[in-house]
């Protein structure tokens, strides 16, 4: 394939017609047919039979084969002498539906318990027309929920659950535009751009693309970076400031400085007026970001500051990160003051606590039953594999003479935030997400930036290794396909490995809504274990206890000590007390608690047999008990 | 020329349809689709068209981001002013979109004389090219190869729309004194690399069909 493309001379290139050839038709029919085949398998997915390996355990074999065929079809299209943008776009569009729309198509209720809580925030705003910062931390950054409340009400809908299923597909389609522009600022090689985009979508397993502020503001972050790097780069004729006097002992420092400040070869000019208007647009988006999400502005700042310092982006934009910081802290110290008063130690206390962050983000997640542990280990290994390949790609590009300071800064800059703030054990995931675009670009470079090592005498030892490498690259398309298939196979486990805990049945949702309907205000709701779709409505009217976050209570559940639980609830009650069990709780308990599987079912039996609770509601997936008021006395 | 009329007209029609659906025939099954499409896209696109970016990928993305930003800021302003009203927020967005779209349509009229025709757009692009000419002295051979291998697309607007317009983007290799890591990568942009560009223009310039 590569040799074929090499035969195209410049003169021939000019004469190539735009008429589709046989391969174009194949590259159109293959993904379309594969998609239809994949669609036909959706009906045979039996969600109820899922095990702890997640969605992949109930995926029909044909469905998985279709995904693999899509990988091959994309490679085939990409390796054409003149790959067509429209066909590549078709592949990416179909892939996004197949990877991110599958749960919405096979499941009957939106996945993730957090989505139901977001519904609760939205419902509160729709019902009261206000936000209460003292009620919940989310109400200190309410912009996104104000937006969902407005859209839901203006659309005549009752809640966000009616369109929450579409969010992953919608968000990932949104990511496509900025990614395309961003990668085009890194290279002029369109094949590399499309391969990087493809790898992004088959490695984006983080799952932040549900209906959430962070999912949307990742898109805004990408867009702002794309705008800055496309139109606001330092002009190549601006000479970088020289560092202090050169000294022979610090040669590496000067080499590094030259690399960091080397001019960017790809520039796109824009008249001053349009640049100013673009900056106004960026500021509007930043304002929305600042009052909607507490974390993303800091990712934006931590990435843009080094880019500006080293002249990757025009130094005239020094005010931009300052403005973001001013807005973020301005909001924090004024509108988010209620949160700040109660959580200042959470915000600033994490500084320097690397081991706490590491424990919260990594160690504490590896536990539970063997299948869940396998998924967690795979989730830890996949980023390492991607980063390793990105490192190799970066080396290849370095040896080819590319000065990738912009890409490397974008890839590494998010990680200091992991050191300073564990963010409830999620910061490493966020760092992975924000560093993923440059990482996948470097990873894709392995196939299109094979270095020529003969130029340097010092690197001849690498040249000796080129023999087997060259043999692999003789079948470049095969090599790309193999890597994509490996990524794809891993994605199915990493993305949907926790699906048994993430998916919700309509029965569960109905049961929880029933609880909210029957309980009088000021009742205490007790979630027997983490994971149910609660906080779905009437956010401010009820008190909540999650048994899994209290060590004493969770141990009591583990040893089936109903009396301890009753005593605890009686002390904390402010009205009626309801203890409820759902299917997701059982799955989460078995998967992550560390107690023997089936322990929560036994606890439920013990609760029923204790005589201290009345069973007031029972369906297949939900059981609701009410604490008998006499037992406390 | 067509694209200059296209988006304002689409915005205008979408705004009218949204207005009709919400005010005259609310609670129809169409309402969620129409309102969501409008809120997610139209106000932003009405603003973005003033920027004349000639890059469809950025324009579409910016349209969505700006639409939702403006919607949220407008709704938030009303909420914090204790006048929460989705209807008023929607009315604000409708008026904003209408105003911008009508202004853009007026700007297309020949009598107004604002640089909006295809020829004038091309002139703008040409002036950008001339501005780049100064840089081109530093571009050297590699840039020449990139340019030479670029076939003239059938529709300039279409190519520019996907960011494939080579006129607006230039590749400038570093000069000798700017080359980093000289101790390792002496002459890192090797001859073999340059040769590869010449042999494989598709790969290096990324020429693709629109």
Closest partner residue to B135 (CB to CB) among A8, A149, A236 is A236
Beta-bridge partner residues of A579 = A526, A625
Q: How far is B110 from chain A (nearest CA, A)?
A: 23
Q: For position A254, what pLDDT does the model report?
A: 78
- Which range in A19-23, A454-458, A463-467, A602-606 is most confidently predicted, on average pLDDT? A602-606
Cβ neighbours of A197 in B, within 8 Å: none
Q: Of B40, B74, B108, which marks where a domain is finished?
A: B108
Suggest the residue from B179, B180, B191 to mutate for an interface test with chain A (most A CBs closer than 10 A).
B180
Report the C-alpha gap between B39 and B60 in whole angstroms.
14
Q: With CB atoms and an 8 Å threshold, state whether B62 touches A84.
A: no
The stretch B128-145 carries a mean pLDDT of: 40
Q: What is the pLDDT of residues A405-415, one digit of tens each?
A: 999 999 999 99
Q: Which segment of A9-18, A142-151, A240-249 scores lowest on mean pLDDT?
A: A9-18
Asked if B75 and B86 touch (Cβ cutoff 8 Å), the reply is yes
- Is B102 inside a domain boundary? yes
Judgement on whether residues B145 and B70 belong to the same structural domain of the protein? no
- Is B39 inside a domain boundary? yes
Q: Which residue of B has its CA nearest to A240?
A: B178
pLDDT for A569 beyond 50: yes
Q: For position B188, what pLDDT does the model report?
A: 35
pLDDT for A360 beyond 50: yes
Q: Of B88, B108, B128, which marks where a domain is finished?
A: B108
Q: Which residue of A has its CA nearest to B184?
A: A456
Asked if B146 and B205 touch (Cβ cutoff 8 Å), the reply is yes
Q: For position A413, what pLDDT does the model report?
A: 94
Pairing type for strands A543-546 and A524-527 reads parallel
Cβ neighbours of B180 in A, within 8 Å: 255, 258-260, 262, 403
Judgement on whether residues B128 and B199 belong to the same structural domain of the protein? yes
- Which range in A574-583, B109-118, B125-134 is most confidently predicted, on average pLDDT? A574-583
- Give the pair of three-digit tokens for residue A273: 């007026």
Closest partner residue to B72 (CB to CB) among A5, A219, A292 is A292
Judgement on whether residues B84 and B169 belong to the same structural domain of the protein? no
B204 or A615: which leads in pLDDT: A615
Q: For position A20, what pLDDT does the model report?
A: 74
DSSP conformation letters of A232-282: -BPPTTSPPPP-SPP-GGGHHHHHHHHHHHPPPSEE----HHHHHHHHHHH
CA nearest neighbour of A412 among A255, A260, A196:
A260
- Is B172 inside a domain boundary? yes
The ipTM estimated for the assembled molecules is 0.88
Judgement on whether residues B51 and B124 belong to the same structural domain of the protein? no
Longest dimension (CA), chain B: 73
- Is B184 inside a domain boundary? yes
Q: How many domains does chain B have?
A: 2
Judgement on whether residues B80 and B145 belong to the same structural domain of the protein? no
Cβ neighbours of B41 in A, within 8 Å: none
Mean pLDDT of chain A: 87
- Is B90 inside a domain boundary? yes
Judgement on whether residues B69 and B149 belong to the same structural domain of the protein? no
Total Cβ atoms within 10 A of residue A17? 7
Q: How far is B20 from chain A (nearest CA, A)?
A: 13
- Give the pair of three-digit tokens for residue A600: 């929560």
Judgement on whether residues B13 and B81 belong to the same structural domain of the protein? yes
Q: Which residue of B has its CA nearest to A83?
A: B208
Q: With CB atoms and an 8 Å threshold, state whether A86 touches B210.
A: yes
Judgement on whether residues B30 and B73 belong to the same structural domain of the protein? yes
Q: For position A366, what pLDDT does the model report?
A: 55
φ and ψ of B177, to 5 deg: -75, -10
Asked if A295 and A303 touch (Cβ cutoff 8 Å), the reply is no
Please provide the size of chain B in residues.
210
Asked if A88 and A77 touch (Cβ cutoff 8 Å), the reply is yes
Cα distance between the two ends of chain A: 82
Report the C-alpha gap between A64 and A73 in whole angstroms.
14
Q: With CB atoms and an 8 Å threshold, state whether A265 touches B178.
A: no
Q: Of B74, B108, B142, which marks where a domain is finished?
A: B108
pLDDT range class, residue B140, cuts 50, 70, 90: very low
Q: What is the pLDDT of residues A251-262, one digit of tens each?
A: 777 778 888 888
pLDDT range class, residue A71, cuts 50, 70, 90: very high
- Is B113 inside a domain boundary? no
Asked if A78 and A88 touch (Cβ cutoff 8 Å), the reply is yes
pLDDT for B143 beyond 70: no
- Is B8 inside a domain boundary? yes
Judgement on whether residues B27 and B80 belong to the same structural domain of the protein? yes
CA nearest neighbour of A51 among A501, A372, A500:
A500
DSSP A223: H
pLDDT for A626 beyond 90: yes
Q: For position A346, what pLDDT does the model report?
A: 61
Q: For position A479, what pLDDT does the model report?
A: 84
The stretch A263-269 carries a mean pLDDT of: 80
Judgement on whether residues B49 and B126 belong to the same structural domain of the protein? no
Asked if A211 and A106 touch (Cβ cutoff 8 Å), the reply is no
Closest partner residue to A266 (CB to CB) among B47, B171, B203 is B171
Closest partner residue to B76 (CB to CB) among A8, A16, A143 is A143
CA nearest neighbour of A423 among A288, A544, A329, A293:
A293
Cβ neighbours of A5 in B, within 8 Å: 200, 202-203
SS3 category, A626:
strand
Q: For position A365, what pLDDT does the model report?
A: 55
Report the C-alpha gap between A320 and A317 in whole angstroms.
5
Q: Determine the structural domain holding residue B164 and report its residue range.
A: 118-205
Q: What is the pLDDT of residues A92-140, one digit of tens each?
A: 999 999 999 999 999 999 999 999 999 999 999 999 999 999 888 889 9
Q: What is the pLDDT of residues A183-220, one digit of tens each?
A: 999 999 999 999 999 999 999 999 899 999 999 999 99
pLDDT for A282 beyond 80: yes
Q: Which segment of A233-242, A346-355, A384-393, B147-156 scores lowest on mean pLDDT?
A: B147-156
Q: With CB atoms and an 8 Å threshold, state whether B185 touches A456.
A: yes
Q: What is the pLDDT of residues A366-380, one digit of tens each?
A: 556 788 889 989 999
pLDDT range class, residue A247, cuts 50, 70, 90: low
The stretch A72-83 carries a mean pLDDT of: 90
Q: With CB atoms and an 8 Å threshold, state whether A455 touches B68.
A: no
Q: With CB atoms and an 8 Å threshold, state whether B172 touches A236.
A: yes
The stretch B114-130 carries a mean pLDDT of: 47
Q: For position B58, what pLDDT does the model report?
A: 94
pLDDT for A525 beyond 90: yes
Q: How far is B65 from chain A (nearest CA, A)?
A: 7
Cβ neighbours of A397 in B, within 8 Å: none
Q: How far is A31 from chain B (nearest CA, A)?
A: 19
Judgement on whether residues B130 and B201 belong to the same structural domain of the protein? yes
Cβ neighbours of A255 in B, within 8 Å: 180-184
Judgement on whether residues B13 and B74 belong to the same structural domain of the protein? yes
- Is B210 inside a domain boundary? no
Q: What is the pLDDT of residues A424-453, one digit of tens each?
A: 667 888 899 999 999 999 999 998 887 765
- Give the pair of three-digit tokens for residue B130: 């001339």
pTM for the whole structure: 0.84
Burial group, residue A311, by CB count within 10 angstroms (0-12, 13-18, 19+): buried
What are the structural domains, with CATH classification, of chain A?
Answer: 1-107+452-499 (no CATH), 504-632 (3.40.50)
């Amino acid at each position: 394939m590569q040799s074929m493309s090499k035969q195209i001379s410049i003169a021939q290139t000019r004469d190539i017609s735009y008429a589709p050839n046989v391969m174009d038709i194949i590259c159109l029919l293959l993904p379309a047919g594969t998609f239809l085949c994949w669609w036909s398998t959706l009906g045979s997915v039996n969600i109820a039979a899922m095990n702890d390996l997640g969605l992949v355990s109930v995926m029909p074999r044909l469905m998985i084969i279709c995904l693999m065929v899509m990988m091959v079809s994309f490679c085939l299209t990409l390796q054409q002498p003149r790959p067509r943008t429209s066909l590549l776009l078709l592949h990416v569009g179909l892939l996004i539906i197949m990877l991110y729309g599958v749960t919405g198509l096979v499941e009957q209720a939106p996945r993730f318990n957090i989505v139901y809580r977001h519904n609760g925030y939205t419902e509160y705003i729709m019902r009261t027309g206000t936000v209460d910062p003292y009620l919940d931390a989310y109400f200190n950054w309410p912009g996104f929920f104000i937006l969902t409340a407005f859209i839901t009400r203006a659309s005549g809908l009752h809640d966000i659950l009616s369109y929450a299923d579409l969010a992953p597909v919608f968000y990932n389609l949104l990511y496509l535009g900025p990614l395309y522009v961003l990668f085009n600022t890194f290279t002029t090689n369109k094949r590399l751009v499309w391969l990087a985009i493809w790898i992004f979508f088959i490695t984006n397993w983080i799952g932040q693309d549900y209906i959430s502020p962070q999912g949307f503001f990742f898109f805004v972050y990408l867009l702002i970076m794309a705008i800055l790097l496309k139109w606001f780069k330092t002009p190549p004729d601006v000479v970088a400031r020289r560092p202090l006097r050169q000294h022979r002992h610090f040669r590496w420092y000067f080499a590094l400085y030259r690399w960091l400040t080397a001019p960017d070869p790809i520039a796109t000019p824009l008249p001053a007026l349009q640049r100013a208007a673009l900056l106004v647009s960026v500021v509007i988006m930043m304002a929305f970001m600042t009052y909607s999400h507490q974390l993303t502005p800091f990712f934006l700042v931590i990435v843009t500051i080094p880019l500006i310092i080293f002249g990757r982006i025009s130094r005239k934009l020094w005010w931009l990160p300052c403005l973001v910081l001013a807005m973020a802290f301005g909001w924090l110290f004024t509108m988010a003051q209620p949160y700040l008063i109660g959580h200042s130690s959470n915000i600033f206390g994490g500084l320097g606590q690397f081991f706490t962050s590491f424990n919260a983000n990594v160690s504490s997640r590896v536990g539970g039953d063997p299948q869940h542990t396998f998924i967690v280990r795979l989730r830890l290994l996949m980023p390492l594999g991607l980063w390793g390949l990105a490192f190799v790609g970066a080396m290849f590009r370095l040896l080819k003479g590319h000065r990738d300071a912009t890409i490397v800064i974008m890839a590494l800059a998010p990680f200091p935030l992991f050191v300073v703030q564990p963010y409830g054990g999620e910061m490493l995931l966020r760092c992975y997400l924000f560093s993923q675009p440059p990482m996948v670009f470097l990873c894709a470079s392995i196939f299109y930036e094979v270095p020529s090592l003969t130029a340097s005498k010092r690197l001849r030892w690498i040249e000796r290794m080129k023999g087997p490498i060259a043999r692999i690259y003789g079948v470049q398309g095969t090599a790309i396909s193999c890597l994509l298939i490996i990524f794809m196979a891993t994605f199915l486990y990493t993305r949907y490995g926790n699906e048994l805990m993430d998916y919700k049945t309509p029965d569960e949702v109905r049961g929880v809504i029933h609880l909210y309907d029957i309980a009088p205000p000021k009742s205490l709701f007790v979630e027997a274990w983490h994971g149910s779709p609660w906080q779905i409505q009437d956010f401010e009217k009820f008190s909540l206890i999650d048994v899994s976050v209290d060590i004493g209570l969770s141990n009591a559940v583990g040893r089936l000590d109903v009396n301890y639980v009753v005593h605890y609830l009686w002390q904390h009650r402010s009205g009626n007390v309801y203890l409820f069990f759902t299917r997701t709780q059982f799955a989460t308990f078995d998967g992550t608690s560390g107690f023997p599987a089936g322990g929560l079912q036994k606890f439920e039996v013990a609760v029923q047999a204790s005589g201290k609770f009345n069973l007031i509601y029972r369906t297949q997936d939900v059981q609701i008990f009410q604490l008998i008021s006499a037992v406390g006395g | 020329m067509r694209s200059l009329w296209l988006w304002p007209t689409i915005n205008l029609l979408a705004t009218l349809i949204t207005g009709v659906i919400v005010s005259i025939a609310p609670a129809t099954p169409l309402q969620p689709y129409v309102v969501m499409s409008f809120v997610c896209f139209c106000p932003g696109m009405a603003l973005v068209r003033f920027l004349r970016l000639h890059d469809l990928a950025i324009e579409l993305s910016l349209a969505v981001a700006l639409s939702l930003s403006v919607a949220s800021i407008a709704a938030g302003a009303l909420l914090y002013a204790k006048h929460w009203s989705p209807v008023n927020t929607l009315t604000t967005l409708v008026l904003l979109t209408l105003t911008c779209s009508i202004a853009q349509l007026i700007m297309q009229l020949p009598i107004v004389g604002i640089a909006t025709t295809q020829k004038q757009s091309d002139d703008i692009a040409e002036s950008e090219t001339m501005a780049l000419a100064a840089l081109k002295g530093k571009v050297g051979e590699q840039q020449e190869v990139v340019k030479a291998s670029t076939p003239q697309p059938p529709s300039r607007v279409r190519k520019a729309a996907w960011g494939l317009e080579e006129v607006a983007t230039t590749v400038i290799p570093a000069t000798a004194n700017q080359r980093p890591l000289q101790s390792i990568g002496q002459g890192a942009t090797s001859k073999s690399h340059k040769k590869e560009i010449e042999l494989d223009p598709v790969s290096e310039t990324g020429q693709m069909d629109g």
